[in-house]
């Protein structure tokens, strides 16, 4: 199971996608399709829980792609019923060994019935909560922060699961888009800042919750609306009830969902993600023009921005780098060294096209910078005359604590170097990032970023964390000094 994205090892990674269905026969089959469409949000593992009035709760959790597990008749038949939720998750880089117990949804049997939850985001006070719960006799099965939610629910004095979930989430800090289910209810919640996405769709008599709209499309569901930051929807056969269990706050949606995480065919805040990315390319071309022969995307995530850059600059768009559709990662390295073999397994330069040309490479971000260097090498080996990098996001200088897998701050190239130093380090003729204001303009904020009250969470670029990362601070993480 090779990665679907060529540079997974040098990208920020969304950690989860969630999906839920109520009111459709064999709901788990829809969930499987929805998770397949959300696979880019979590490639490591997936799980589905379903409830049937006669057979009760059933669940299946598997490592690997949705398409390889949840397509088997024999498995899907064990998940009957009109109510189902599912979850896909990413591998945490460097974890000592993934275990199936960490795969969501998590399930708990309470005295008035059971509930299952699937969580996208990250709880920033999870370690504190876990310590407290263990002291009081809870037994944790996983190393996941999300498991706190189910234990908090188990200990709630509320009778029903929806109210137990409210209780639990009021104790939780950080970012969460949660899809949960009881025997009769499908529940969706977003944290007050609305950091992670969650949308509501409709299919026939059924309702659907999904991280992104692209997963509504795959099952032919109509997009209804986004769940609002701080909102909880409780869906039964009587319809959708909306609650607001949290103190209201100004929302701070993750701006990186626009840049990279979400699928280009999803719609966020009424805007096509593809179109936003193309617009980033336009802004990028305006902010950082350069004379060149070709604009080439680093496949595949740089493609929309490269198209926009080409259209704005008038420099022809071309596929200078071809991605191998059958990517692999573990071939035996032959005795005689192959230069940059890891990259060659995934990409190849279109040599006849590149030779003698001045090439603009458009990529979505620079994280460690390791693959950017290798790509530059390949392009120069192929005979390019000049290489100019244009990056569709500002320098990534701070880790995310809200559900994205980022390297430690020390490993982030932009945490250690200025833009010029990075250019030298990468060995390219020029390197330019879009400005934070430019990025805000591309996502529709005509005035750019309002420093007093930014419309998005942009902590990875700005170092301004909208929720204090309590567990990390306890471990010694240092916030950006006040300026």
Structure tokens, 464: 């301004």
Site for a second copy in 104-163 (CB under 8 A): 108-111, 131, 134-141, 150-151, 154-155
Answer positive or negative: Cα dihedral of 411, 417, 419, 423.
negative
Residues 73-92 touching a second copy, rule: CB under 8 A, are 73, 76, 78
Q: Taking the complex as a whole, how short is the minimal distance between the CB of residue 415 and a second copy, in angstroms?
A: 30
Q: 458 and 435 in contact (C-beta within 8 Å)?
A: no
Cβ(419)–Cβ(391) under 8 Å? no
d(CA 361, CA 368): 17
**Per-residue binding letters, 209-248, with a second copy (x by CB under 8 A):** -----x--xxxx----------------------------
In three-state secondary structure terms, 37 is helix
Question: What is the phi-psi region of residue 448: left when phi exceeds 0, alpha when psi lies from -120 to 50, beta otherwise?
Answer: left
Ranges within 362-381 binding a second copy (CB under 8 A): none
> Minimum Å distance from CB 249 to a second copy?
28
- Would you give the binding string for a second copy spanning residues 405-424, x where CB under 8 A is met? --------------------
364 is in an annotated binding site: yes
Catalytic positions, written as ranges: 16
Q: Are 227 and 205 in contact (CB under 8 A)?
A: no
Asked whether position 98 contacts a second copy by CB under 8 A, the answer is no
Residue choice 91, 184, 236, 350 for contact with a second copy (CB under 8 A) = 350
Footprint of a second copy on 286-345 (CB under 8 A):
300, 303-304, 307, 311, 316-319, 322, 324-336, 338-339, 341, 344-345
* CB nearer to a second copy: pick between 141 and 418: 141
Q: Residue 282's CB: how many other CB atoms inside 10 A?
A: 21
Please indicate if the annotation marks 377 as binding a ligand: no
C-alpha span between 217 and 228 (Å, rounded):
21
Q: Look at residue 242 and give its three-state secondary structure.
A: strand
418: Cβ contacts below 8 Å, ≥ 6 apart: none
Residue 433, both tokens: 């990032």
Question: Would the annotation count 296 as a binding residue?
Answer: no
| Binding to a second copy, residues 155-194 (CB under 8 A) | 155
Q: Does 54 bind a second copy (CB under 8 A)?
A: no
Under rule CB under 8 A, residue 267 binds a second copy: yes
* 32 is a site residue for a second copy (CB under 8 A): yes
Count other C-beta atoms under 10 Å from residue 25's C-beta: 11
Alpha-carbon distance of 123 to 258, in angstroms, equals 22
Q: Which stretch binds a second copy (CB under 8 A): 7-15, 59-67, 182-190, 247-255?
A: 59-67
Mark the binding-site residues, compressed into ranges.
254, 301, 363-364, 400, 457, 460
């Amino acid at each position: 199971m090779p990665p679907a994205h060529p540079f997974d090892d040098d990208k920020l990674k969304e950690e989860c996608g969630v999906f839920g269905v109520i009111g459709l026969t064999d709901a788990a089959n829809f969930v499987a399709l929805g998770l397949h469409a959300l696979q880019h949000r979590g490639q490591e593992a997936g799980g589905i829980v379903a409830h049937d009035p006669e057979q009760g709760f059933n669940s299946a959790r598997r490592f690997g792609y949705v398409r390889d597990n949840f397509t088997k008749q024999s498995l899907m038949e064990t998940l009957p019923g009109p109510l189902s939720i599912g979850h896909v998750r990413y591998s945490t880089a460097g974890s000592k060994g993934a275990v199936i117990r960490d795969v969501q949804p998590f399930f708990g049997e309470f005295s008035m019935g059971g509930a299952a939850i699937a969580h996208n985001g990250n709880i920033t006070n999870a370690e504190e909560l876990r310590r407290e719960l263990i002291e009081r006799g809870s037994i944790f099965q996983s190393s996941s922060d999300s498991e706190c939610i189910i234990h908090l629910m188990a200990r709630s004095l509320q009778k029903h699961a929806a109210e137990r979930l409210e209780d639990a989430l009021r104790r939780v800090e950080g970012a969460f888009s949660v899809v949960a289910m009881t025997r009769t209810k499908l529940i969706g919640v977003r944290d007050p800042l609305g950091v992670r996405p969650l949308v509501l769709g409709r299919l026939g008599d059924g309702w659907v919750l999904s991280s992104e709209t692209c997963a509504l499309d795959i099952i032919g569901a109509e997009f209804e609306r986004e769940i609002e930051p701080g909102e909880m929807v409780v869906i039964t056969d009587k319809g959708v009830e909306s609650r607001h269990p949290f103190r209201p706050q100004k929302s701070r949606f993750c701006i990186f969902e626009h840049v990279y995480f979400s699928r280009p065919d999803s719609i966020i805040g009424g805007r096509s993600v593809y179109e936003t990315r193309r617009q980033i390319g336009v802004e990028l071309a305006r902010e950082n023009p350069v004379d060149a022969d070709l604009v080439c995307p680093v496949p595949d995530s740089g493609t929309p921005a490269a198209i926009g850059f080409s259209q704005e600059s008038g420099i022809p768009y071309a596929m200078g780098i071809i991605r191998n559709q059958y990517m692999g990662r573990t071939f035996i390295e032959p005795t005689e060294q192959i230069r940059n073999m890891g990259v060659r397994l995934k990409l190849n330069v279109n040599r006849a096209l590149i030779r003698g040309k001045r090439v603009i490479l458009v990529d979505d971000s620079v994280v460690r910078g390791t693959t950017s260097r290798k790509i530059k090498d390949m392009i120069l080996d192929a005979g390019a005359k000049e290489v100019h990098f244009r990056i569709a996001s500002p320098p990534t200088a701070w880790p995310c604590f809200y559900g994205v897998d980022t390297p430690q701050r020390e490993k982030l190239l932009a945490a250690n170097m200025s833009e010029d130093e990075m250019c030298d380090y990468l060995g390219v003729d020029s390197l330019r990032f879009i400005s934070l204001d430019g990025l805000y303009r591309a996502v529709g904020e005509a005035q750019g970023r309002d420093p007093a009250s930014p419309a998005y969470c942009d902590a990875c670029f700005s170092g301004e964390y909208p929720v204090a990362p309590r567990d990390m601070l306890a471990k010694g993480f240092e916030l950006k000094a006040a300026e």
